[in-house]
Structure 1
Amino acid sequence: MALPESARLEGPILQELLALGGEERLRVLYRRLLAYFPHLDESERDCASARWRTLVQRAGARLVKKGELRREAGRWALTERGRQRAEAEKMLVEPPPEESPRRALSHEELQAMLVEIGRLLGKHAEREHERYDVVWKDSPLSPRLSHVFEVQVHGKLESALAKLKHAYDTQRSKPVLVVSDARDERRAREWLRPYFSGSFHEIG
C-alpha cells in the first residue's frame, strides 16, 4: 500500500497530541503515527524514512496554517483551536485495534465443525466412525460412506492419506484432508504435491 497523502495525517497528529497531553517531540510522533496506517508495506513502515518524515512535516505545516498546531524546537503542541478540533473528531480518528493472533482450532473442534456442516447439508454425519475422523452418509442406514474426512493437526501425514486412500479404494468415498496449519490453499497444495505424485496420486 502506498503512503497516504499528507492531509490524511492531520487528524492522527491532533489525536496523538491530545492523547499525550497536548505536546510531544516530533521524533516520537513519527513512530506513533504509523499505528493509524496498519496496511502500509513493510518497506514503508520505517518511521525514520525520509518520505515518511516529509509527509508528517507537510501535514504539520498545514495544521500550523490553520492555527491548530504550534511548532517549537523539535516539539509540536496543540493550540486551543487544534484541541477543539481534536476533541470533536476524537471518535472519528482512532487507530485500529491491533489484531490478536488467531488461536488454532483443535482436532476435536475441527471434527465438530465438519459434523455440523454435514448435518446442515442434509447428510448423516459422525465422528470417530470406525477408523476415520469424520464421515458423511446419505442416510443413517446407508452402508456407503459418501465423504471421508481426516483432520491433520499433529501426527504423520502419510497415515491420514493412507486412511483416505483406503476409503476411496473400498467405497469410492470422496476423500477430504483438512490441514489446520496451512495458511492458504496454495501452501497446502505445495505441501502435499510430493505425496500426490507418488502412491496417493489416485486421490490427489
Structure 2
Amino acid sequence: MGEMIKMVVVLTVLSVVSGGGLSWLKDFTGPKIENQEMNLVKGPAIRAILKDSEKDPVENRFKIQDGETERNIFVGVFNGKPDTVILESVANGFADKVGMVVAINMTDSTLRGVAVTTHKETPGLGARAKSDPSFSAQFAGKPLTVPVQVSQDGGNITALSGATITSRAVCAGVTKAIEKYNELKPQLEEKIKSMGN
C-alpha cells in the first residue's frame, strides 16, 4: 500500500511540474508567436488592403472582448478619420480552414477589401484565393446589406475556376466577419471614438 501512495505522490508532483512548465512556456512564447504571425502572415495582407492609411493599421490596433474570445481589431485612418476596421475570420475550405482578414468601411457600411492569410488549399486552384488579386478585388465596395455569395449561389462574386468550394469558403468567412462587425459595432464605435486622431 505504501508503494502505491509513493507512486501517486510522484505522479502528482510530475503532473504539477509538467503542467506548470507548459503553462510558463505558453506564456513565454505566446507574444513572440503572435508578433511573428502579425509581421509575416497577417500584417502584409492588412497593410495591402489599407495601403493608403495615414497610420500603420497593424500598429494602430486594439483588442476587444467578444465573450470569451479576445479579438484583434485593426484600424485604418483616412483623411484624418479612423473609419475602417479589419476583423479576422475563418471558414472551412476544400482542404482545411481558410483564414482571412476583412476590412469594413464604417462610414459608408461597405467592404473595403478582403485578403486570405492562411490556407491549405490546392496549389493552382484554391490557393489562388490568396494570390489572385482579381478574385479579392471583387469584394471591395460591396454593401454590407447584400449577401456575399458566389454567382452559382445567386451572389455577385465570380468563383475561382476549379475552386468553387474555396471561393464559397471566402464568401462564408466574409459573411461571418460582417455578422461579427454588426454584433460588435457599438463597442467598435466607442473604442474608435476614444482613439481620436
Whichever of the two has the greater Rg, that structure is: 1
* Structure (1 or 2) with the greater strand fraction: 2
Tell me if TM exceeds 0.5: no
- Scaled by the length of structure 2, the TM-score of the pair is 0.29
- Scaled by the length of structure 1, the TM-score of the pair is 0.28
